[in-house]
């Protein structure tokens, strides 16, 4: 059996990536990604420092304990990994939410990556926004794959439904192309935080009055 929550129209919604946003997955490097999946179970993997605290604080934005804020975990990871991701989320007490993953793959296909799954991710986000037309959403992702482009596209098509965007900097330095996307989002009048540590993201959330 499952739980059904009907969010208040005044609540924020959250759409978050998974891989390398709060779960270290090396999604941009095929060999490292596969090695982690084969050698580390969900209970021994740790979330990125400070992310659980940030997400838990966001989950209380504009709501109370009896009305959980809607979280949607939209990822290019495959449905094969559903139980793995679910166990990880429960182990570290991430906000309960809906997992929306990609088409199942055979083992040999785990090596493959492509644009189609990112296009599907964009479609899933568009579906969420259409399903909750009165809600404003916060988008959370990282700079390793297509999140910056996808989120900029979402902002371009649905500016009135987006409250702000968070992009985690995975490498040692910010990427110039991502900085350009951040500037584009901000030029549209929406806050966008490109950060290297969750403490920066939390300070930004406080400044916006989200936490």
Tell whether 4 is covered by a domain: no
Got the DSSP string for 120-174?
Answer: HHHHHHHHHHHHSTT-EEEEEEESSSSHHHHHHHHHHH-GGGEEEEEEE--SSS-
Spatial distance between the Cα atoms of 135 and 163, rounded to a whole number of angstroms: 9
- pLDDT band of residue 92 (cuts 50, 70, 90) is confident
pLDDT at 111 over 60: no
Domain total in the chain: 1
Contact 69, 62 (CB under 8 A): yes
Out of 16-20, 71-75, 95-99, 150-154, least confident range: 16-20
E-only strand ranges, 17-125 = 71-78, 98-102
Q: What is the pTM of this model?
A: 0.82
- For residue 59, the enclosing domain spans 12-208
Tell whether 1 is covered by a domain: no
pLDDT at 20 over 90: no
**H or E stretch covering 56:** helix 51-58
pLDDT at residue 181, rounded to an integer: 97
pLDDT at residue 62, rounded to an integer: 72
Q: At 52, which CATH number? A: 3.40.50.1000
- pLDDT band of residue 9 (cuts 50, 70, 90) is low
Tell whether 69 is covered by a domain: yes
What share of the chain has pLDDT > 70, as a percent? 69
Tell whether 6 is covered by a domain: no
Tell whether 80 is covered by a domain: yes
189: left (phi over 0), alpha (psi -120 to 50) or beta: left
């Amino acid at each position: 059996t499952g739980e059904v929550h009907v969010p208040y129209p005044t609540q924020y919604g959250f759409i978050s990536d998974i891989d390398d946003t709060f779960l270290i997955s090396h999604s941009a490097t095929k060999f490292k990604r596969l090695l982690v999946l084969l050698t580390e179970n969900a209970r021994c993997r740790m979330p990125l420092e400070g992310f659980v605290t940030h997400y838990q604080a966001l989950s209380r934005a504009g709501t109370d304990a009896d009305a959980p804020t809607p979280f949607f975990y939209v990822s290019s990871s495959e449905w094969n990994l559903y139980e793995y991701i679910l166990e990880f989320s429960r182990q570290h007490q991430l906000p309960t939410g809906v997992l929306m993953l990609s088409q199942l793959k055979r083992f040999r296909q785990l090596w493959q990556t492509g644009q189609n799954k990112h296009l599907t991710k964009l479609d899933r986000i568009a579906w969420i926004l259409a399903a909750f037309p009165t809600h404003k959403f916060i988008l959370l992702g990282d700079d390793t794959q297509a999140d910056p482009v996808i989120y900029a596209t979402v902002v371009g098509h649905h500016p009135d439904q987006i409250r702000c965007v968070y992009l985690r900097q995975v490498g040692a330095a910010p990427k110039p192309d991502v900085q350009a996307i951040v500037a584009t989002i901000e030029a549209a009048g929406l806050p966008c935080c490109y950060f290297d540590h969750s403490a920066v993201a939390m300070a930004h959330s406080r400044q916006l009055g989200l936490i």
